[in-house]
Structure 1
Amino acid sequence: MIADVKNWVKSSDSGFGKFCRGSFYAIKHIEMPVVPVLYKILFALHRSSKTIWHNTLQFIYFTPMFKSQVSGSKKRLTLQCGMPQVIGALAISLGDDVRMSGIATFCGRYHSDRIAKLIIGNNVDVGWQNAFSVGTKIELQDDVRLAGKVFLAGFPGHPLNCAERAKGKPDLPEQAGDIIIKQGAWIGTGATVLAGVTVGKGAIVAANAVVTKDVADFTLVAGNPAKVIKRVD
């Protein structure tokens, strides 16, 4: 019954049908008038209350909870937007003055004889939507900067053999490896660094680069696979 009425309103060429159709669209597109002074005040109140609530949650809940799960000195840790998701067996160590997005994921590969390690030094930025797959060890040395959506792929998660993948088998130990990001290096937005790679001191990895081999100190690399562009010392 209701569906028949809706179809009639949409398709009728009668005067009453057109009137109903016009009335429906007019009601559907009614907008609340904007009173500039009023809504500027409301927006300021909204933003202030949101900031206060966010900072309170970070201070009393998310930051101490995350600190309880990691080792290291971890002084003056700044977390934004909650706390990172930690998956699997993973030992995390934090230095001082780390700034970290809560919208990040740290995943540790299962080892029968040891626990994967994530080591973050002092004065390090871990950006929005970073994802770390820690195969054996990932180390971010002092003063490292990671932009948004950086992927440190220390293990692939699946074997190379398609029949083994179909059976749901895990990756092989030789597919996992350390990733070392040395002091002062900067990893750009959307970059991927693969297992076994060391990014040198003061090096820069350009946005969306895929780093498959070691990067020398004070070198800018870009592309897929990443290639040397120039020296930056």
Structure 2
Amino acid sequence: MIIHVKHWLKCSPHPFAKSLFQFAKTIRNPQMIVIPFFHSSLYFVHQFLKQFIHEFLRITYFTPLFKSQIKGSKKQLYLYSGMPQVLGELKVVCKDSVRMSGISTFCGRVGGQTTPTLTIGNNVDIGWQNAFSVGRTITLEDDVRLAGRVFLAGFPGHPVDCERRAQGQSDDENQIGDIIIKRGAWLGTGVTVLGGVTIGEGAIIGAGSVVTKNIPAFSIAAGNPAKVVKYIKES
């Protein structure tokens, strides 16, 4: 019944239907008058309270909880937007002055011969919606910068054979690879790095790139698959 009425209001050429349709659109989205001083003050209070609550939870709740689950010196760890999700069997070793988005996922491969290990060096930035799939080891050396939605794919999670996939079997050892991001490297938004890849010191990877092979130090690489487009001088 309601669907037929909505269709009639939207499609009928009758003037009454058109007027009623416009009236319905108006009352569906009422607008309150903006009182500049009042609403500006209210906005300030809103932002202040939001930031205060965020910082309070970061300091007293999320950071201690996350620190209790990881190894390393982990001094001056700065979490923002909550706490990263840790899945599977994974050892996380974190050094000092690391900044990390809470909207990130760290996943360790289950059923391997050794416990997968994620090692995070000093002064590392891990951006929004990063996802790390650790097959054996993923290493982020000092001063690494990862923008948003970076995916480090150390294992695929499924075998190549479709019949085995259908049976829910896990991936094979030969599908797994370590990932090393050398000191000072910078990965742009949406970069994917496959297992078995080392990104050299000071290298820059362009946004949206898929890195399938090693990238030399002090180079800029981009594309799918990523290729070196330029070399930069070592500072």
**Matched residue, 1:63:** 63
Paired residue type of 1:100: M
**Matched residue, 2:212:** 212
**Matched residue, 1:81:** 81
**Matched residue, 1:118:** 118
Equivalent-residue separation in structure 2 for 1:14 and 1:188 (angstroms): 55
**Matched residue, 2:177:** 177
Shift of 1:32: 0.6
Alignment of 1:47-62 (within 5 A): 47-62=47-62
**Matched residue, 1:157:** 157
**Matched residue, 2:97:** 97
Equivalent-residue separation in structure 2 for 1:14 and 1:206 (angstroms): 56
Equivalent-residue separation in structure 2 for 1:210 and 1:124 (angstroms): 21
Equivalent-residue separation in structure 1 for 2:19 and 2:222 (angstroms): 62
- Paired residues, number: 232
- 1:46-104: CA deviations, max 9, x gaps? 00000000000001000000000000000000000001000000000000000000000
- 1:180-206: CA deviations, max 9, x gaps? 001111111101110000001111111
Shift of 1:2: 7.1
State the SS of the aligned residue for 1:106.
strand
Equivalent-residue separation in structure 1 for 2:92 and 2:199 (angstroms): 20
- Per the alignment, do residues 218 and 24 of structure 1 end up closer, same or farther by CA in structure 2, a change over 3 Å counting? closer
TM-score computed with the length of structure 1 as normaliser: 0.92
Equivalent-residue separation in structure 2 for 1:6 and 1:177 (angstroms): 56
Shift of 1:177: 1.1
Match status 1:43 vs 2:43: yes
- 1:153-173: CA deviations, max 9, x gaps? 000111111111111111101
- Structure 2: state its 5+ residue gaps: none
Mean CA deviation greater in 1-10 or 207-216 = 1-10
- Per the alignment, do residues 26 and 187 of structure 1 end up closer, same or farther by CA in structure 2, a change over 3 Å counting? closer
Identity of aligned residues (%): 55
Mean CA deviation greater in 97-106 or 162-171 = 162-171
- Per the alignment, do residues 88 and 32 of structure 1 end up closer, same or farther by CA in structure 2, a change over 3 Å counting? same
Shift of 1:8: 7.7
Paired residue type of 2:60: I
Shift of 1:31: 1.2
TM-score computed with the length of structure 2 as normaliser: 0.91
Equivalent-residue separation in structure 2 for 1:26 and 1:84 (angstroms): 43
- 1:26-55: CA deviations, max 9, x gaps? 433431111111111111110000000000
**Matched residue, 1:232:** 232
Shift of 1:229: 0.7
State the SS of the aligned residue for 2:38.
helix
State the SS of the aligned residue for 1:174.
helix
**Matched residue, 1:127:** 127
Equivalent-residue separation in structure 2 for 1:59 and 1:117 (angstroms): 26
- Per the alignment, do residues 13 and 169 of structure 1 end up closer, same or farther by CA in structure 2, a change over 3 Å counting? same
- Structure 1: state its 5+ residue gaps: none
